[in-house]
Chains A and B, each alone.
Chain A
Amino acid sequence: MSTFYFIAFLSIFFSILVISAKNPVHSILYLVLTFFTFTIHYILLNAQFLAVVNFIVYMGAILVLFLYTLMLINLNKEAEPVKPFMVKISAVFGGGILAVALVSSLKSLGVSDPVVLKDPNLGLVKNLGKVLFNEFLLPFEISSVLLLSAMVGAVLLATKEKEPKATI
């Protein structure tokens, strides 16, 4: 249990650093560390497959692409966009509302009962596959369609509009 609290502390600590870091590249690197602590959480929950997939997909692929994009756009101090005053005001307002919502949710705070898994091997690949393709087949397939539509959208955005053929 103490491991959990330590890792949970690290998760929150790194995620605070993500938003407070001045340099966007440092921010992404803190996000990598945050995702790494999530991986440890999954391992503590005995969900090996989920842990490794989180590791590969989020840390190994998505954040590498984030970092890649950030390195390509040159973020100097001079090139930093100056935000207009109204945007700052509305950001403060939005943050305040979020804070109120979070504080009010504290009212219903209680210590959760630790869920005792009926089957400690539930997180293993074999069992996860069986559950996904039997009980949750429809949501699983629908989410894959969602990914496909995102991919089609990205391809559509990336392709140039057809230029009229040059006459010789």
Chain B
Amino acid sequence: METIDLLIKIALIVIIFAISLVVAMYSTYAERKIAAFFQDRVGPNRAGPWGILQPLADGGKMFLKEEIIPTNATGFLFIVGPSLAILTACIGSAVIPWGQNLEIGGRVIPLQVTDINVGILYIFGVVSLGVYGIMIGGWASNNKYSLLGAIRAASQNISYEISMGLSIIALLMVTGTLSLGEIAKQQHGFWADGYFSWNVFKQPLGFLLFIVCAFAETNRSPFDLPECETELVGGYHTEYSSMKLGFYLFAEYINMFISSAVMATLYFGGYNFPFMDMIHSPNLVAILGVVALFAKIFLFIFFFMWVRWTIPRFRYDQLMDLGWKTLIPLAIANIVLTGIFMTFFK
């Protein structure tokens, strides 16, 4: 690989990291504003115009707070927990195609860090690793509530990973590839061969299952039982303070951003948008594609928040029942139906 290519790759990685951090930062602001809107309040409006500097103030507060490590906590693992949480949240962005190839001065720049041909499985692996941050942190705190939160997180993640995997299998039968770049390419435009080209129209049930599982995997309400404050004080991060707590909260927002990006890529056409063939400049299409992808991502993030401030939390046995007795049978039925459809109608 030439030096200039390497530099471009590094620049791309840095930009994607920066974007995901900024999006996560302003998600906290958006969440507070949206919550205020749903509850007929004003929300943060003191720091800067419309409270736009609120995330910076929050971040500064987190950094400057006193750092407390409980005496009976397992010191090293207590720090590893939040670090792992934020690490696994960040590395998911590596395989997401952010747009079509750009062409600048005869050089083709792919807007995707790497297109490994097991991209979906990579995302899946990163997601399954994410639970370690919570488990290690919860155990190392040496606190009953933290431990209960950690254990809840573990069993919830494992249960919903199964139906998530099964819903992806049905998608793979339709697309025939595991590479996210290839899947995004297949959904070109909006209408192709007499049918919608986006996967959500080919796999509506699969998408429904996937989004429910994504809510559970990111520990978002109504599946936020690991940090259910009515029962468990603060859940797995009860003992955490200052930036270590900040990392846990931040990891949740980055996870939300990445899972929105994955859902947009897998089911909602990624960077593709209707009537994209009518624009003839490929660079313009690429840039508009990035804009379209981010519009979809922000819609999903809004949906995450909308659900959080509308739907009450599950009880733990209801959560397990939903995962094992409803979602898994539905996912298996979806695979069988997809198979039958593909055998007889194509």
Partners in one complex: yes
Contacts A52-B125, A64-B158, A68-B151 given; does A32 touch B132 at CB 8 Å: yes
Interface pairs A-B: 3 shortest CB-CB:
A60-B128, A52-B121, A55-B125
The answer on a CB contact under 8 Å between A72 and B157 is no
Q: What is the bound-complex CA distance between A68 and B157, given in angstroms?
A: 12
Contacts A25-B139, A125-B117 given; does A65 touch B158 at CB 8 Å: yes
The answer on a CB contact under 8 Å between B128 and A56 is yes
Residues of A within 8 A of B135 (CB): 64, 67-68, 71
A contacts, CB < 8 Å to B: 25, 29, 32, 48-49, 52-53, 55-56, 59-61, 64-65, 67-68, 71-72, 124-125
The answer on a CB contact under 8 Å between A56 and B158 is no
The answer on a CB contact under 8 Å between A29 and B136 is yes
The B85-131 residues at the A interface (CB cut-off 8 A) are: 116-118, 121-122, 124-125, 127-129, 131
The answer on a CB contact under 8 Å between B117 and A60 is no
Which residue from chain A places its CB closest to the CB of B131 in the assembled complex?
Answer: A64
Residues of B within 8 A of A61 (CB): 128, 158, 161
Tell me the total A-B contact number using a CB cutoff of 8 A.
62
Residues of A within 8 A of B116 (CB): 48
Residues of A within 8 A of B151 (CB): 68, 71-72
Q: Which of A59, A65, A72, A124 contacts B117 (CB 8 A)?
A: A124
Jot down 27 A-B pairs with beta carbons below 8 A, ordered by A: A25-B139, A29-B77, A49-B118, A49-B121, A52-B118, A52-B125, A56-B121, A56-B125, A56-B128, A59-B129, A60-B128, A60-B129, A61-B161, A64-B131, A64-B132, A64-B157, A64-B158, A65-B154, A67-B154, A68-B135, A68-B154, A68-B155, A71-B135, A71-B150, A72-B151, A125-B118, A125-B178
Q: What is the bound-complex CA distance between A52 and B94, given in angstroms?
A: 15
The answer on a CB contact under 8 Å between B121 and A53 is yes
Is B147 close to A, CB under 8 A?
Answer: yes
Residues of A within 8 A of B161 (CB): 60-61
Q: What is the bound-complex CA distance between A119 and B259, given in angstroms?
A: 35
Residues of A within 8 A of B77 (CB): 29
Residues of B within 8 A of A68 (CB): 135, 151, 154-155, 158
Q: How far in angstroms is the closest Cβ of chain A from B125? A: 4
Interface residues of B, dominant DSSP: helix
Q: Which of B121, B128, B150, B154 contacts A59 (CB 8 A)?
A: B128
Q: A49-B118, A60-B129, A64-B132 are in contact. List 11 more A-B contacts (CB 8 A).
A: A48-B117, A49-B121, A52-B125, A53-B121, A55-B128, A64-B128, A64-B157, A65-B158, A67-B139, A71-B135, A72-B151
Residues of B within 8 A of A56 (CB): 121, 124-125, 128
The answer on a CB contact under 8 Å between A64 and B121 is no
Q: How far in angstroms is the closest Cβ of chain A from B92? A: 13
Q: How far in angstroms is the closest Cβ of chain B from A58? A: 10
Q: What is the bound-complex CA distance between A72 and B330, given in angstroms?
A: 31
Q: What is the 8 Å Cβ interface bit string for chain B, positions 224-240, against chain A (1 contact, 0 not)?
A: 00000000000000000
Q: What is the bound-complex CA distance between A125 and B182, given in angstroms?
A: 14
Contacts A48-B116, A48-B117, A125-B118 given; does A71 touch B139 at CB 8 Å: yes
Q: How far in angstroms is the closest Cβ of chain A from B325? A: 14
Q: What is the bound-complex CA distance between A65 and B135, given in angstroms?
A: 11
Residues of B within 8 A of A59 (CB): 125, 128-129
Residues of A within 8 A of B132 (CB): 32, 64
Q: What is the bound-complex CA distance between A59 and B127, given in angstroms?
A: 11
Q: What is the bound-complex CA distance between A48 and B125, given in angstroms?
A: 13
Q: What is the bound-complex CA distance between A29 and B74, given in angstroms?
A: 13
Q: How far in angstroms is the closest Cβ of chain B from A44? A: 15
Q: What is the bound-complex CA distance between A115 and B157, given in angstroms?
A: 39
Q: What is the bound-complex CA distance between A137 and B1, given in angstroms?
A: 40
Residues of B within 8 A of A67 (CB): 135, 139, 154
Contacts A25-B139, A59-B129, A71-B139 given; does A52 touch B122 at CB 8 Å: yes
Q: What is the bound-complex CA distance between A5 and B129, given in angstroms?
A: 26
